[in-house]
Amino acid sequence: MTDSGDLPRREMHPDEMDIEDLLWSRRHQFIENAHSLLSHHPPSLYGHCLRLSLGSHSVYFCGRCSGIYGGLGLGIIVLLAVNVRLEPSWAWFFGAVVVGFATVIDWSTQRLSPRKTTVRTRALTGLMSGLSLAVIFVLGDIIYILVALSIMLGTIAVVSIVESRMTRTSSF
């Protein structure tokens, strides 16, 4: 049997790899980049992802980010379609920050302790944050948006510093 008009292929031992399996092409690079954008987790951490099967292929989406983007989109659509009055705005903002903090707690406790969450928990807390972000964006107050972004940035910074110190301490 010939392969593309080449010489006949010899039978390979199950432990052998075909040289073509080792060649990296632009197609492979595109697929790898798409996987990174959608899941931003290495294959060893696909347990953090939602899996969508398309025929014989699977596409992985970060569970938490899927919840955030889904909640943000759904929240904006519902808030604008139903014409919800967000008054007083400071109460809605405060409530949104409190509800959105579920993701911060889930993420930070997973980063800083042996605790592991399920993809369902990640998606649910992400959904809560997405809905909270929708409220903040629909409020349309730049101060609220900047405060929310500052809280998110501050949380990431604090967790990164603590995680770095924990890593340094455990390596001695």
162's CB contacts (< 8 A; 6+ apart) are 112
Query: Band of the pLDDT at 15, cuts 50, 70, 90?
Result: low
Q: pTM for this one?
A: 0.74
Query: Band of the pLDDT at 111, cuts 50, 70, 90?
Result: confident
The predicted-structure confidence for 42-84, as pLDDT tens digits, reads as follows 778 888 888 888 888 888 889 999 999 999 999 999 999 999 8
Mean pLDDT estimate for the chain = 85
CB 84 within 8 A of CB 134: no
